[in-house]
A and B are shown apart, each in its own frame.
Chain A
Amino acid sequence: MAITGVTRPGHAQLRVLDLEKSVDFYKNVMGLVETGRDAKGRVYFKTWDERDHNSLVLRQSDQAGIDHFAFKVLDRATLERLDSDLRAYGVATERLPAGEMLGTGERVRFEIPTGHIIELFAEKDFVVGRDRLVNPTPWTPQSEHGIAPLRMDHALLYGPDIDGNVKLFTEVLGFSMPEYVEHDDDGSKIAVWLTCSNKAHDIAFARYPEQGKLHHVSYLLESWEKVLRAGDVCSMHNVKLDIGPTRHGITRGTTIYAFDPSGNRFETFCGGYQCYPDWEPIRWPLSELGAGLDYPQRKLHESFLTVVT
């Protein structure tokens, strides 16, 4: 399958309550690589295996949560086309100049129906060394430090109008919907998993009364054993787990949920299936959401529905 248009999640910018405590957490527990700090005080990170300059940006704030979630599009022409398509659809867009974020080209910013800020960009500096491009070793000292995920993979965001999001992401941005949860009685959508690739999800949304909430940012690991190791790393650093280690029924990924020092949830996961845009979506009635969330225990953990930043 050709990956065109919106190609993948690019970065998440999170608000943290104590910047240096959070930097220490993302460097030494999550095991990310710090790639820079800007004049606004934001701190930038990538995983050991990512080539783009950053996939996580931390900003000091008095409130936790997510500032924006961004996707990388194929090229500048695609960025211009999608900006024009968004405007034609009735979405107001704004341009942020290249360099406003370190190592990142011009961004197109817009608000989606659930109140989240989404950005698109075409260019981000490659910071990968030659040793990773010629005869690379399968792992490095950095890949063994902390949880050390392969990549920032997706996010789950909470807000009221997820139907509006599905329409925008599928009709304008070229996403498809591999899975969804619907209310048993009226068939209204409770949660949706959307992809711009053949991953089971690049972004997901769940219905929640408040606008613009973050449920989690997710990081991909190589194996179930690495998910268990992530649990060990959390415990070694006294980071309490929220859910897992277990397996989701929805997307079939193996998973751990836990929280960063500001209470922003993160996921470390592995697996899930590959899908194609012509597939009929998988439906989960709300009454089976426990199995969708935690298949072995069939347990609808209370914090899954209520704890967001």
Chain B
Amino acid sequence: MLHKHHSISVLDCEKTFPCRDGGTVFSALVSSKTGVMINGCRGGGCGVCKIEVLSGAYDVDGVMSRAHVSAEEAAAGTVLACRISPKSDLVVRLRGKLRPSSVSH
């Protein structure tokens, strides 16, 4: 690979995805086309890409809506995947509402 990559291990589906250094965790999960992540707003506003980072280092770029991530959560590693890029391999758990029962009754 031309670019340095980190691996993102998603515990919920026991799969690991490559993430380009400098790319967002959200982009890595969506572009995997595995359905592990749905297309979200990519702007820190909608909360569908909420994850908990269990291990690894990452940079935060941009603001996350307080409607989805409280200050306490952010400090403890719960973030929006569209706002972070990995600095090392990450182990994460999905925390977003991927399939709300809004219209399925």
**A57 → chain B closest CB, angstroms:** 17
Any chain B CB within 8 A of the CB of A259? Answer: yes
- Contact among B44, B66, B102, B105 with A183 in the assembled complex (CB-CB below 8 Å): B105
- A62 close to B43 (CB less than 8 A): no
**A157 → chain B closest CB, angstroms:** 13
Q: A65 vs B42: C-alpha distance in the bound complex, in angstroms?
A: 14
Any chain A CB within 8 A of the CB of B2? Answer: no
B99 / chain A contacts, CB cutoff of 8 Å: 306
Q: A208 vs B99: C-alpha distance in the bound complex, in angstroms?
A: 12
Please report whether the interface of chain A is mostly helix, strand, loop or mixed according to DSSP: loop
- A307 close to B67 (CB less than 8 A): no
Any chain A CB within 8 A of the CB of B55? Answer: no
Q: A259 vs B46: C-alpha distance in the bound complex, in angstroms?
A: 10
- A307 close to B103 (CB less than 8 A): no
- A17 close to B65 (CB less than 8 A): yes
Any chain A CB within 8 A of the CB of B28? Answer: no
Q: Which of A93-113 contact B (CB under 8 A)?
A: none
- Contact among A63, A240, A305, A309 with B102 in the assembled complex (CB-CB below 8 Å): A305
Q: Which of B61-83 contact A (CB under 8 A)?
A: 62-67
Q: How many residues of B contact A (CB 8 A)?
A: 24
- A306 close to B67 (CB less than 8 A): no
- A62 close to B103 (CB less than 8 A): no
- A242 close to B45 (CB less than 8 A): no
Q: A206 vs B102: C-alpha distance in the bound complex, in angstroms?
A: 9
Any chain A CB within 8 A of the CB of B91? Answer: no
Any chain B CB within 8 A of the CB of A28? Answer: no
Number of A-B residue pairs having CB atoms within 8 Å of each other in the complex: 96
Any chain B CB within 8 A of the CB of A195? Answer: no
Any chain A CB within 8 A of the CB of B8? Answer: no
Q: A190 vs B48: C-alpha distance in the bound complex, in angstroms?
A: 21
- Contact among B39, B44, B103 with A64 in the assembled complex (CB-CB below 8 Å): B44
- Contact among B40, B62, B101 with A307 in the assembled complex (CB-CB below 8 Å): B40
- A306 close to B42 (CB less than 8 A): no
B44 / chain A contacts, CB cutoff of 8 Å: 17, 64, 262-263
Query: Chain B residue with minimal CB distance to A265?
Result: B41
- Contact among A63, A65, A186, A307 with B38 in the assembled complex (CB-CB below 8 Å): A307
- B65 close to A307 (CB less than 8 A): no
A190-B103, A207-B102 known; A307-B63 Cβ under 8 A: no
Q: A264 vs B41: C-alpha distance in the bound complex, in angstroms?
A: 7
Contact with A along B19-63 (1 / 0, CB 8 A): 000000000000000000011111111101000000000000011
A17-B63, A65-B67, A309-B46 known; A209-B100 Cβ under 8 A: yes
Q: Which of B86-105 contact A (CB under 8 A)?
A: 97-103, 105
Any chain B CB within 8 A of the CB of A18? Answer: yes
B38, B45, B97, B103 — most chain A CB neighbours (10 Å): B45
- B43 close to A302 (CB less than 8 A): no
- B41 close to A17 (CB less than 8 A): no
B39 / chain A contacts, CB cutoff of 8 Å: 242, 301-303, 307
Q: A62 vs B70: C-alpha distance in the bound complex, in angstroms?
A: 10
B62 / chain A contacts, CB cutoff of 8 Å: 17-18
- B102 close to A208 (CB less than 8 A): yes
- Contact among B38, B45, B98, B102 with A263 in the assembled complex (CB-CB below 8 Å): B45
Q: Chain B interface (Cβ within 8 Å of chain A)?
A: 38-46, 48, 62-67, 97-103, 105
Q: Chain A interface (Cβ within 8 Å of chain B)?
A: 17-18, 62-65, 158, 183, 185-186, 188, 190, 206-209, 240, 242, 259-265, 286, 289, 301-303, 305-309
Write 25 A-B pairs (CB below 8 A) sorted by A numbering.
Answer: A17-B43, A17-B63, A18-B62, A63-B65, A64-B46, A158-B102, A183-B105, A207-B103, A208-B102, A261-B43, A262-B41, A262-B43, A262-B65, A263-B42, A264-B43, A286-B103, A302-B39, A305-B102, A306-B38, A306-B97, A307-B38, A307-B46, A309-B45, A309-B46, A309-B65
